[in-house]
Amino acid sequence: MRTGIAELASKLRKREISAVELTKTYINNIEKLNPTLNAYVHLTFDIALKTAEQADQMLKEDDAPLLCGIPMALKDNICTDGLPTTCCSKILDGFKPYYDATVWEKLRAQGAILLGKTNMDEFAMGSTSETSCYGAPLNPINTAYVTGGSSGGSAAVVCADLAVYSLGSDTGGSIRQPASFCGVVGLKPTYGAVSRYGLIAYGSSLDQIGPLTTSVKDAAIVFDAIKGCDKRDQTSVDHDYGVSLAEYLDRDVKGMRIGVAEEFFDGINPEIKSQIMEAIALFEKNGAIIENIRLPALKIALPVYYIIACAEASSNLGRYDGIRYGHRASSYTSIEDMIVKTRSEGFGDEVKRRIMLGTYVLSSGYYDAYYKKACLIREEINREFDAVFEKCDVLIAPTAPNTAFPLNYKGASPVEIYLSDICTVPVNIAGIPAISIPCGEDSKGLPIGMQIIGRKFDEPTVLQMANFYEQNSGIKAGVYEGGARA
């Protein structure tokens, strides 16, 4: 198992290694592997080394923050002052915000070292990271396969040890599914737990930033550092978790009630199903109570998700018109022509598909039949989850119905790829937290992810259950050999 954040922090404090040395190790590893993996799309080594020097100064103080001097990565849709933030879209080519996202502001203040921005599906729309305008990142476990998406780069850099941890964003599974494909830990926090300020919006009512790490404990540490109410994000919530999250990790699972809904297992790859069932059996053996529950509305969660996310996206992406920032068409005859050409050139097919879908479902005459109905079903899904959480502390489900797709896998239609989000989207619709942790591998050696879903703002229980499994199953993240910490 790799050295965790807490251990690295302790080594940095004991001067066993300096932040500059640690950063250089990561830079070397990135220079070696990134040309193949394409996990980073913008590298920030100069700034990383400068901040590492500052971190070494900070580390001389007793009260240096835990994440001080630890090299990390941000998904390319998280705004970084003066550094490229492009959502891996041609339309934001060259865009450098003049403000930091709240999460980055918090981490920067702790002395975090940013190595670069990670590859992703264009505007976070996709499940393979192949819609990136920079080309797909490759799965470090097996480079013939995708990383998953949309936070594919963020999962790959953690998997290949090109960063100690990374941040991703999750609108319909975009942290958990790539975490599952790359065999790492990915936490999607409760909607409102982490500020969205500076996260370039895809589906505003679903988007949430969260960590990707190689252990549950690291996920807890990073989540702890980025969570909290933000006066710049009205949807962020001032929730008091009581004690620090890491303290919850080692609680016993005895008597914990685990819900298992058959709807989550419909059409799931049997290899995945059997791994998850084995995991559930491990919990049961250790005193957890298994409840078989039903969540009938899950069957229609996928269309609900695609309607709501695309509706919001169609509005959120209207601003990319070439007037103020990013790509602008080079020749045009009028302002209308400029906007049309800029958008036609700047957006990829998947983004265009979702903008059209979203525009359609919000159009007068269709609004009631699609958008409004989707919102009503969303309420029904929430009610079902509320009812289930009366009886259960957490739910366990697969993260994805399949392991990583081969690269360039087209499927029968875009819908087949959309189906790979089936286990993750209900969580975003309900705004509840969920984690994906490694749960063995399939016969091809590709990682399988298990999802643990909790009540709103009950990340402590989610992390506790995940940590128990990690500690007791013998299955660890960071399968990739040859990383910086190997």
Among 92, 125, 158, 392, binds other proteins (CB under 8 A): 92
Q: How far is the CB of 233 from other proteins (least distance, A)?
A: 5
Number of residues assigned to the chain: 486
Q: Which residue, among 54, 158, 61, has the nearest Cα to 111 in the 3D structure?
A: 54
Specify the residue for token string 């998280």: 78
Show the binding pattern over residues 229-248: x = contacts other proteins (CB under 8 A), - = does not: --xxxxx-------------
**Catalytic residue check, 75:** yes
Interaction between residue 15 and other proteins (CB under 8 A): no
Segment 319 to 348, residues that bind other proteins, using CB under 8 A: 319, 321, 323-325, 335, 339
Packing angle of the helix pair 102-109, 216-226 (nearest 10 deg): 100
Interaction between residue 98 and other proteins (CB under 8 A): yes
CA dist., res. 183 & res. 440, Å (int) = 8
CB nearer to other proteins: give 309 or 434: 309
CB nearer to other proteins: give 78 or 479: 78
Interaction between residue 26 and other proteins (CB under 8 A): no
DSSP lists the bridge partners of residue 436 as: 186, 451
Contact assessment for residue 189 and residue 210, using Cβ atoms and an 8 Å cutoff: yes
CA dist., res. 34 & res. 36, Å (int) = 5
**Catalytic residue check, 150:** yes
CB nearer to other proteins: give 199 or 295: 199
Specify the residue for token string 């996310």: 309
Joined tokens for residue 296: 């009938």
**Catalytic residue check, 174:** yes
Annotated catalytic residue within 150, 236, 436, 473: 150
Query: In 123-190, where do the E strands start and end?
Result: 165-170, 185-188
Number of residues that bind other proteins (CB under 8 A): 43
Q: How far is the CB of 231 from other proteins (least distance, A)?
A: 7
Interaction between residue 306 and other proteins (CB under 8 A): no
Q: Pairing relation of β-strands 447-454 and 394-398?
A: antiparallel
Packing angle of the helix pair 459-473, 216-226 (nearest 10 deg): 160
Specify the residue for token string 């819900």: 259
CB nearer to other proteins: give 182 or 425: 425
Interaction between residue 101 and other proteins (CB under 8 A): yes
Interaction between residue 310 and other proteins (CB under 8 A): no
State the virtual CA torsion across 46, 51, 54, 55 in degrees, nearest 10.
-130
Interaction between residue 302 and other proteins (CB under 8 A): no
Interaction between residue 201 and other proteins (CB under 8 A): yes
Q: Which residue, among 347, 341, 337, 439, has the nearest Cα to 398 in the 3D structure?
A: 439
| Residue 478 CB-half CA count within 13 A | 23
CB nearer to other proteins: give 199 or 261: 199
Active-site positions read: 75, 150, 174
List residues near other proteins by CB under 8 A.
77-79, 85, 87, 92, 95, 97-99, 101, 196-201, 203-205, 231-235, 311-312, 314-315, 318-319, 321, 323-325, 335, 339, 359, 362-364, 367, 371
